[in-house]
Amino acid sequence: MKKIIVIFFVTFLATGAFAQKGMHRGGGVRVIAPRPVIALGAYSPFYYGYNPYFGYGYPYGYNHMYNRPTKLDLQIADIKNDYSQKIKSARADKSISRSERKQIVRDLKHDRDQEIIETKRNYYKVR
């Protein structure tokens, strides 16, 4: 009886050891961890003073001004939204052949670009 229990225990351990072999077959996972950095407070002449890239004052992260879109930007966004809706509906139309759908999409994109150019022209012509 003692021999049977020992054989069973050894078989159980061997099965567990063989099962571990298959886990590492596809290669490992590469983990990239940043190194810890100890920083001391130091004077940086480019933080509040003159910066050759940003000029005087705070760096780019501290400019909290909100830029309103111009009327031209809003018109162009409306044109793009309208044509994107038309293009999506043309692509979803399965009643015509694929080549015709592609041609319709090309024509719509061309018309969209032409309308944007015309809108820009009219915007700058008025001023």
* All structural domains of the chain with their residue ranges: 68-127
Cα-Cα-Cα-Cα torsion 5, 7, 12, 15, nearest 10 degrees, comes to -170
Helix axes 71-92, 98-126, angle to 10 degrees: 170
The whole-number pLDDT of residue 66 equals 61
Q: How many CB atoms lie within 10 A of CB 83?
A: 17
pLDDT tier, 3 (very low <50, low <70, confident <90, very high otherwise):
confident
80: pLDDT strictly greater than 90: yes
Q: What is the mean pLDDT of residues 87-100?
A: 95
The whole-number pLDDT of residue 46 equals 47
Classify residue 110 by burial, with Cβ atoms within 10 Å: 0-12, 13-18, 19+. Answer: exposed
Mean pLDDT score of the chain, rounded to an integer? Answer: 77
Helices of type H across the chain: 2-21, 71-92, 98-126
pLDDT, tens digit (0-9, with 9 covering 90-100), for 12-58: 777 766 665 555 555 566 777 666 655 555 555 544 555 555 555 55
Phi and psi based region of residue 66 (left: phi greater than 0; alpha: psi -120 to 50; beta: remaining): beta
